[in-house]
Structure formats: C-alpha cells, structure tokens
Structure 1
C-alpha cells in the first residue's frame, strides 16, 4: 500500500498510549512505518495495515514492535452497508467483551484458553478501526488456502470452533441472549435489498459459467430456481429456532481467518480465530458448512464430511461438559439434521466465499470487484468461476448438495 493510502491520523503520536501500555520500559518512538498488511485477495472486507515501530527503551536499547490496524473501505456501497450494520462496532464488541467473556468461562473451570489476538484502543481515532497485536511476531501464520486444510489442520480448527461454540452456548444458558448486533448480524430487513442486488449480480455471472460445468444438466434447473430465492433462504436460516441447539457462529471461518502456530518440528501448537466482524448467533450449521466447504482439501471435503461432523460433535460435547452446560446436550443426529435443514447455506458458501478462497493471487481481487457490477467486477467474478481449481471443487460439490436436498427451496414460513 502506498504511503498516501495510509490515513494521516495513523501516526506515531496516536500509538503513544498503546506503546506505553504494551511495551515494558518504553521511552520513545525512533521509527514508524505503516504499510499494507495483506496482499490482494487475502482480505476483502477491510483495509488491513501492518504498523512497524522501532522504539527506544528506558535503558537506551532499541526494540521492534508491530501491530495490525483494520480500517473501513471508503466505497459508497460499503459506507451505506456500514450505516445498517457497522462491522467495526461488532468486532470491537467481540474483542472487548464477548471473546474475553468466553475465555473467562474456561478460566473459571481451570482451563487456560485463548481464542485469538489481543486488541487495543486508540485515543482520538479519526475513523472506525480495530487495533490488534501482530500475531506473526508469535509465529502465527495462515495455511495455504489454495491447497486447503488437511485432516490434521481441519481437526484442530473444528476443536477450536467447538470450544468457541460451547462457551457461547453456556454463556446464553447462564446470562441470557446476546445483543441484537449478534443475534441478527447482517440479516436485518433493511439490509435485504442491498444484499439481494449484490447476490443477483454474482449469481448472473455464476449461471453464465456453470452451464459449462461437467454434469450441469443434473442440477441446472434447480440452480435457476434457487437463485432468485437464495436471499430469502438465507434469511430463513438466520431466524433463530429456540428448539434447536444454537451458538454464536464466528461467521467468517474461512482459512485466512484461521492462524496456526507451529513448533520446531512443524507440529501445530495453537490455533487462533481472527476477524470477528460478522458473528451470528444461531444454528451451528452456519460455521460448519462455511468452514468445511470453503477451506478443506478437495479430496477430504466430501469424503470426510460426516467424519468431521462427528469429530466436531465429540469435541463440542466434551467442552459443554467441561463448562457444566445445564441444558440437554445436542445429539450428533441433531447436528446432522441442522446441516440438512440449512443445507442451502452450503450453496451460498460454494458460490461465494469458496470462489475467493481458491483463486490464485491477483491484483484484481478487491471487495469492489467481488460484489460489484462494473465491467471490472464482472470480469473478476467470471475469473472466480472459471478458475480451473474452483471448477474441480464445484463440479464435485454441486451433485453432493443436490443429493442432500440442499438445492431445494424450502416451504414458505409463516410470519
């Protein structure tokens, strides 16, 4: 990112209080540099900066520190979206209150567990922001999103999601509902027209390409019928059914929002979840379909799907018991029933986020192009769907979704 793209207010002065509170023996800033924190295609929803600071300590020694800063895009549609759902307010609520509360539940039963990065506050920020520790300093990194996660990585992520889900279920059982910001998320009625417009554009491009997919004759008519109803189907899933087992979904659990720390032998030591901008309380099917369909290896994605759900369920039950959950424990069958009931969300995942996950790095990758209807946006979306890697995945997954009834439009629900 060119220096001119870094807002003027992101400077050494605004970091002064943060440095005093996080760097023992801090004296002053020697050098300050803010630059892009992620390459094109690695992060869509926000502008990510990495801030590198060389500080002088009280004993005269120098120390290098760094932080990650997330900032909003200045695009018109993004600003309009932010008026309806401010994802920065949501993420700061998550970092400041919700996640520490979940970690505290484990601490209360003698389990030290950390879900992700520490966050900090600026004084005098000139826009929405999220300020985080730079996890790369602790050796955390993303896995290769193009290859997808193998079984070892997938199991570790499912274990972490199960811990997260269990804590959120216990929290609601003991303290009551989460605020509306987390129970509705993006799925507000006033957001529906904008979401519909964005999805319709992308689906027009998908439809143009998917008729070239092998075996498309088998499912093309159901896809054509589903596209105009897909947003309504998403909103049905978003409606919380109190008779089901509900959790706070991370909401954006694709591979780039999961960071791994390894030991000297390459064994996974720790897994952190990052990017808490679109959490949503509701069915566990949301996170499970999102993660497993977007981010696992092609050879495991479907063949090990049921195994992965069993692995997740075992871990979920273990953690619910650790946290002394007082309500009936969800059965494995109930998790599978939710995955079938909300299976259409799987279609949304594989025609949305999965296409971005599997795309080779390109400078054309941007939020504006991902959801836009400009010539550049249309070209980028066609690039997403014509990508040979994506084609391999989608040609395997669509028949699987068809056979699970996930391409069917559900019966109308009474208001």
Structure 2
C-alpha cells in the first residue's frame, strides 16, 4: 500500500536507456528516440507498494519518416532510504513480480486464449524486465481506453461479475500450469502478507489496529462491544493471519493474485459505458494459496457495501461455476471441489476478511491531507500517529465501522481463534 509529494524519476531513466529497450521490444535497430518525457502515473492513495511513472516518447524508424508517439509505464521500487524498500524486499515482491511477468503470465495468457477460449486481453504486455534495477516497463493500457474504477465508490455488480470471471480464468490457468510444470511455484511464492518467514507487516497492522481502537472512544456503543476484541487482535493478528493462509488437506490451491483490490484492476468500456473487459495488474504479492484469499480480500476492499453484506455467498457461487468451467476446459486432472466443499474452504479463510476490512480498506479509502505511505504506517512519530488516527477518524470510515464490526463479529472473527 507509497505516495510521495514529489515524484522523482530514476536517474538511470535516460533517452539512451529507453531507446535501447524500445529497439529490443519493437525488434527495430533503426529506432531513434527523439523525445522522452516522464510524469507520475498514479494519484495519491492509489499505490502503496511501488512507484509508477508514465514514459512519453517520440521516435522514428527507417521504415517510417514520420515521428511516432507512444506511452509506456515504468514500475520501480522505492528509494533505498524509504522504509518501504526494505520491508517489501523481505517479502520478495520485486523478484516475484519480475518472475511472473517473464515466466508465468505469458503461459497463462496463452492457456486462457487457446484453451479456455477467452479472446479478450488478460494482462498488460511486458516491454522490458530489468532485474539490475528492479524495474518493469509495460504497455500503457490507457491507450486502449482502460482505466481504473473509483476506489471510493467501489464496484457495482456488473463490474464485480466481470472481475470474478477473469479471476476464475486466472486461478484455473495457474492451477493447471502447476500441474503441467511441477515445482514452478515452489520458489518465492509463499510470502503473502501472512507467511511463516517474515512478519514485516506486523508493526503496521498493530499500529493501525491501535488507531482503530482509539477511534472507538468516539462511539460509546462500539467501544463497549468491540474495543477489547480489537485490542486482543493487536497481539494476535499475525498468528491468526498465518492460520488463515495455511493449507488444509484437500484444499484447492492455485496462484492467487494476493492484492486484488480496485486499483489493481483496469476496465475497458463499450459504447454504452458498460464494462467489457477487465485486466489484472500488480502481481507483487501473488502467492501459492487458496483462491479464497483473493475473494475475501476483493470483497472486503472493492465491492459496494450492499453486495458485500447481502450477496457474498451468491458471488462465491458465481465465481465457483466460472472456475469449474475453466478447469474443465483446461483438462485439470485433480479433484475439483464441489460447491459445498469450496464454500467451506471460503469460510475457513474468513479471517482474511478481518485484516482486509479493518486495516487495509480504511487506508485504501483514505482521502485525508496526511502523507499516506508504508513509512507512515510504521513510524512512531507524531506524523505517523496523526496519519493513522486520521484514517479512522474520517466520517466515511466511522460510518462504515458501524456495519463492518458487527458483520465480522457475528461470524466469530473478532473472538479468540
């Protein structure tokens, strides 16, 4: 989940560097870069785990005397001095995403297109992966009129169904790829937000839960009913989270996206402004696990409240049938769970909704004036405390907690687990 007030492009992002990458991508040695421009590619609050830069270029080739214009996106890590850099590096996110774009997504895209029969674009094309600089250059999907939905308004049923349909194809292809290529996900795909190796997010989660607890002082009813439960979560959040992501015998497992929320999906629209395609982006926290963690995370952070409170089982069912359909087309040979079995698997991962709802979602919906960053989540400074308190003191978050806390509590998710 960082946003800086000043966007600084990398010093190595020069005309010579970009020209070399574009020559390789277009397979055109005569390409001459005439102009290079850079600008921030994400707005405040849209990205907590990387820096996105839009690259605007003008170039010529021997076959075209006219100057051509193009736009690409550059994804880079934070500067070494940013506390987020070390935290995220411990989770292996940068290496993992480069692996995914080089080694995994091309296979998945081909399987979805050729075997599932999905002709719509599945992922953004990769221009270059630079492991020395921990960077990736992608095609700019905005040129094909893809855009991110509003993280504040969230997704309606039509958008939600489209995401679940594409997610089911992604999950099915991931499971079958693992079946066809044993061991492909064994290395560095076991470090989601909760795992048995690192607990870098622990201080952030504790700090934010403590801020939530403080905010309950403003609502006597919520304080009496939930403050002690939230305080207990502060000490147990990582243990409970690890349990919620541990595989159980018979579970259906696959490559989960791991960070599936509104700004990590881009939509294309038809002439009537209805969503016609959805593309998944940002695979830094992709992990080999139950697809249920993606569902809980997505439902908790990205769909409209009415859908979440009243229609969640139906949405799981919708996703499940799409998943089974794709698995059968891909000739998955292992056990496909029944709907009942999958609903049980979804329930067994329910604690994933707790941290998504109480910690990440309030940050994702933050619209305040404080700097929103991983550093602020970690910092014991007055600025860090002020940011965290302002997250939960926002009117829309206080109103949401009136519904979120009872929703989680009635499932027993705020009790000792």
Q: Same fold (TM over 0.5)?
A: yes
C-alpha displacement of 1:280: 1.3
Per the alignment, residue 147 of structure 2 pairs with 141
Q: Contact 1:226–1:407 (CA<8 Å) still a contact in 2?
A: yes
The 1:214/1:322 distance shift into structure 2, 3 A limit, reads farther
305, 320, 328: which one pairs with 2:327? 320
Aligned residue among 48, 65, 69 for 1:64: 69
Matched, 1:95 2:101: yes
- Corresponding position of 1:204: 210
> CA shift at 1:113, angstroms?
5.2
1:229 and 1:168 mapped to 2: Cα distance?
Answer: 32
Local SS of the residue matching 2:147: coil
Instruction: State the distance in 2 between where 1:173 and 1:103 align.
Output: 16
> 1:214: Cα distance to partner?
7.1
Does the 8 Å CA contact 1:184/1:238 hold for their aligned counterparts? no
Shift of 1:335: 2.5
- The secondary structure found in structure 2 opposite 1:305 is helix
User: Could you tell me how far apart the structure 1 residues matched to 2:129 and 2:161 are?
Assistant: 36
> Which position in structure 1 is the counterpart of 2:315?
308
1:68 deviates by 0.8
Instruction: State the SS of the aligned residue for 2:201.
Output: helix
Where does structure 1 lack aligned partners over 5 or more consecutive residues? Answer: 411-415
Q: Distance in 2 between matches of 1:248 and 1:110?
A: 17
Q: Give the CA deviation at 1:40.
A: 1.6
- Counterparts of 1:1-400 in structure 2, within 5 Å, are 5-23=8-26, 27-58=31-62, 59-74=64-79, 75-109=81-115, 111=117, 112=119, 114-121=121-128, 127-177=133-183, 178-185=185-192, 187-192=194-199, 194-213=200-219, 215-216=221-222, 217-360=224-367, 362=369, 364-400=371-407
Change (3 A) 1:140 1:83: closer
In structure 2, runs of 5+ residues without a counterpart are: none
- Cα 1:105–1:242 shift into 2, 3 Å: farther
| TM-score (normalizing by structure 1) | 0.91
Separation in structure 2 between the aligned mates of residue 4 and residue 352 of structure 1, nearest angstrom: 26
Change over 3 Å in CA distance of 1:362–1:29 after alignment to 2: farther
RMSD over equivalenced CA pairs, Å: 2.3
In structure 2, the residue corresponding to 1:352 is in which secondary structure? helix
Count the aligned residue pairs: 408
TM-score (norm 2): 0.91
SS of alignment partner, residue 148 of structure 1: coil
SS at match of 1:315: helix
Counterpart contact for 1:141–1:259, Cα < 8 Å:
yes
Residue pair 2:84, 2:374 contacting (<8 A) in 1 also: no
Moved over 6 A (4+): 1-4
Alpha-carbon distance between aligned partners in 2 of 1:135 and 1:203, rounded to the nearest angstrom: 36
